[in-house]
Amino acid sequence: MKETNETYRGLQPTVLLSPVPVVLVSCAGERPNALTVAWAGTVCSHPPMVSISLRRERFSYELIRSSGEFVINLADEVHSRAVDYCGIRSGRKEDKLAACGLQTVPMEQMAIAPAVQGFPVHMGCRVRQVVPLGSHDLFLAEVVSVRVREDLFDPDGSLHLERASLLCYNHGVYQRAEQVIGFFGWSVARKDVYERRMLSLRGRR
Ligand SMILES: Cc1cc2nc3c(=O)[nH]c(=O)nc-3n(C[C@H](O)[C@H](O)[C@H](O)COP(=O)(O)O)c2cc1C
C-alpha cells in the first residue's frame, strides 16, 4: 500500500457513519403525521427488513408503537425543505404535512399509515420488534409494500434510482447523492462492460 502522511485527530466515541439516507417517516393517529429520520437502515434482504431509531419523546413514537406501522418516504432534493421542517417541528402542536403543502395517500398493506405524495419511493413497514438501546429505541420492521414513482423506470422496466436526486445527510448537512462514479462490481468488470454501463448511466442524466 502506498505510504501517505495524513494525520488524524481522535474524538470521543460517537457515531460518524456518513453519509446516510434521510427519510420522511409517515404514520397516523387521529391524523397523519411525519417525522424526519436519519437513523434508518437496511437490516435484512429476506425477509426485507429495515430499522429506524426513534427517541421516545417524539410525538410519532407512540403513533408508530401503537399502530405497529409506518411508511418510509425516500427524500429527494425538491422536498428537502419539507424534510428539514418535519424534523424540527412536532406534530404534537401542528399539522406539519399541511404546513408543508404535502398530501398523503393510502399505502398498500397499511391500516392507517399513509404515504406522502410526490416522494420517489414509498415503503410500507410493519413493526416486528422494538429494542430499547438508550437515547433511542430501535424499531425493526418488515417492508410489506413498496412503490416507486413511474418516471424512475425505463421503458424496459429497469429502475433508475440514481435519477431521483435522493438526499443524504452528512454530519448535519443535507447533500444530494447525484454523480454516478461506478456500479456494483465495476472494480472487476470487463473494460467493454464497464464502458457500456457507465455510458448509459451517465448519458441518462
Ligand atoms: C435531519 C434530521 C434527522 C433526524 N433523525 C432523527 C432520528 O433518526 N430519530 C429521531 O428520533 N429523531 C430524528 N430527528 C428529529 C425528529 O425528526 C424531530 O424531533 C421531529 O420534530 C419529531 O416530530 P414528531 O414530534 O412530530 O414526531 C431528525 C431531525 C432531522 C432534522
CATH, residue 115: 2.30.110.10
Which of 15, 20, 35 to probe ligand 1 with, by most ligand atoms within 8 A of CB? 35
Q: How confident is the model at residue 132 (pLDDT cuts 50, 70, 90)?
A: very high
Confirm whether 59 is domain-assigned.
yes
Give the model's pLDDT for residue 162: 93
Confirm whether 5 is domain-assigned.
no
pLDDT digits (tens, 9 = 90+) for 161-189: 999 999 999 999 999 987 899 999 999 99
Which range has the worst mean pLDDT, 12-16, 116-120, 200-204? 200-204
pLDDT digits (tens, 9 = 90+) for 34-83: 999 999 999 999 999 999 999 999 999 999 999 999 999 999 999 999 99
What percent of the chain shows pLDDT beyond 70? 98
Spacing, Cα 171 to ligand 1 middle (Å) = 14
Spacing, Cα 47 to ligand 1 middle (Å) = 27
Taking CA atoms only, the protein residue closest to ligand 1 atom 15 is: 87
pLDDT digits (tens, 9 = 90+) for 93-102: 999 999 999 9
Query: What is the mean pLDDT of the segment spanning 14-30?
Result: 97
Instruction: Please give the number of the atom of ligand 1 that sits closest to the Cα of 96.
Output: 26
Q: Is the pLDDT at 25 greater than 70, yes or no?
A: yes
Confirm whether 49 is domain-assigned.
yes
Spacing, Cα 162 to ligand 1 middle (Å) = 25
* Dihedral of the alpha carbons of 25, 27, 32, 37, in degrees to the nearest 10: -20
The domain total for the chain is: 1
Confirm whether 128 is domain-assigned.
yes
Query: What is the mean pLDDT of the segment spanning 149-158?
Result: 95
Q: Is the pLDDT at 91 greater than 50, yes or no?
A: yes
Average per-residue pLDDT in the chain?
95
Taking CA atoms only, the protein residue closest to ligand 1 atom 30 is: 87
Residue in the structure block whose three cell numbers are 398530501: 103
* Dihedral of the alpha carbons of 188, 191, 195, 201, in degrees to the nearest 10: -10
Residues 6+ apart with CB under 8 A from 83: 22, 24, 36, 75, 167, 174
- What residues flank ligand 1, with Cβ below 6 Å? 22, 33, 35-39, 53-55, 58-60, 84, 87-92, 169
Spacing, Cα 25 to ligand 1 middle (Å) = 9
Residue type, 65: R
Is the model's pTM score more than 0.85? Answer: yes
- Rounded distance between C-alpha atoms, residue 159 and residue 18, angstroms: 25
Confirm whether 184 is domain-assigned.
yes
Give the model's pLDDT for residue 204: 54
Which range has the worst mean pLDDT, 129-138, 141-150, 194-203? 194-203
Confirm whether 56 is domain-assigned.
yes
Confirm whether 4 is domain-assigned.
no
Give the model's pLDDT for residue 179: 86
Range of the domain at 44: 20-203
Q: Is the pLDDT at 205 greater than 50, yes or no?
A: no
Q: Is the pLDDT at 4 greater than 70, yes or no?
A: yes
Taking CA atoms only, the protein residue closest to ligand 1 atom 18 is: 87
